[in-house]
Structure 1
Amino acid sequence: MKKLFILFFLISSSSFSQDLIPTSSGEIKVTPILHGTVVLEYQEKTIYVDPYGGASVFDGQKKPDMILITDIHGDHHNQETLDGLDLSNAIIIAPKAVAEKLPEGSGKSIQIMNNGQIEMISGITISAIPMYNLPETEDSRHPKGRGNGYILELGGKKVYLSGDTEDIPEMRSLKDIDVAFVCMNLPYTMDVDQAADAVTAFKPEIVYPYHFRGTDGLADVEKFKSTVNTKAPEVDVRLRNWYPQN
Structure 2
Amino acid sequence: MTKALTLVLFLVVAVFPDAGAQQVESDRFETAAGPLSVQFLGHGSLAFQFADKVIYVDPYSEVAEYSKLPKADIVFITHEHKDHFDPKALGHIVTDKTLVVLTETCGRQYQEGLVMHNGDLKTIQGITVEAVPAYNIVHLRPSGFPYHAKSFGNGYVFTFGEKRVYVAGDTENIPEMKDLKNIDIAFLPMNLPYTMTPEMVADAARIIRPRILYPYHYGETDVTQLIGLLKDEKSIEVRIRNLK
TM-score, normalization: structure 2? 0.85
Q: CA deviation at 1:79?
A: 1.4
Q: Is the 8 A contact 1:179 1:207 kept in 2?
A: yes
- 2:120 corresponds, among 117, 120, 123, to 117
RMSD of aligned alpha carbons = 2.2
Hey, which bits of structure 1, 4+ residues long, moved more than 2 A? 10-15, 53-62, 83-89, 135-138
- Write the letter of the residue equivalent to 2:233: A
Q: 1:184 pairs with 190, 197, 207, which one? A: 190
Indicate the SS of the match to 1:130: strand
Map residues 33-182 of structure 1 onto 2, 5 A cutoff: 33-54=41-62, 57-58=65-66, 61-102=69-110, 104=111, 106=112, 110-135=113-138, 139-182=145-188
| 1:59-81 deviation per Cα after TM superposition (whole angstroms, max 9, x unaligned) | 65321100000000011101122
Q: CA distance change for structure 1 residues 12 and 173 in 2, over 3 Å: closer, same or farther?
A: closer
Q: Which residue of 1 aligns with 2:224?
A: 222
Tell me the amino acid that sits aligned with residue 132 of structure 1: Y
Gaps of 5+ in 2: 1-9, 14-21
User: Aligned partner of 1:88: which letter?
Assistant: D
Contact residue 33 and residue 58 of structure 1 kept, 8 A: no
Bigger shift: residues 150-159 or 199-208? 199-208
Letter matched to residue 102 of structure 2 = A
> Does the CA-based 8 Å contact 1:174-1:202 persist in structure 2?
yes
The 3 A distance-change label for structure 1 pair 81 and 11 is closer
1:238 aligns with 2:244: no
The amino acid of 1:95's aligned partner reads: T
How many pairs does the alignment contain?
A: 224
Shift of 1:238: 1.0
* Structure number, greater radius of gyration: 1
How far 1:136 moved relative to its partner? 9.3
For 1:193-212, what aligned pairs fall within 5 Å after superposition?
A: 193-212=199-218
**1:40 alignment partner AA:** F
Question: 1:6 maps to which residue?
Answer: none
1:95 offset after TM fit, Å? 1.0
Equivalent position to 2:31, from 15, 23, 32: 23
Q: Distance in 1 between matches of 2:139 and 2:63?
A: 35
Q: Percent identity over the alignment?
A: 35
**In structure 1, how many angstroms separate the alpha carbons of the residues matched to 2:228 and 2:134?**
25
Aligned equivalents of 1:144, 1:25: Cα separation in 2:
35
Residue 126 of structure 1 aligns to a residue whose secondary structure is strand
Deviation by residue 1:106-156 (Cα, 9 ceiling, x = unmatched)? 4xxx21100000011111111000000005987222111111000011101
Q: CA deviation at 1:82?
A: 1.4
Does the 8 Å contact 1:55/1:81 carry over to 2? no
Structure number with the higher helix fraction is 1
- Of 93-102 and 171-180, more deviation after overlay is shown by 171-180
- 1:165 is paired with a residue whose SS is coil
CA distance in 2, matches of 1:97, 1:171: 23
- Return 5+ residue gaps in structure 1 as ranges: 1-9
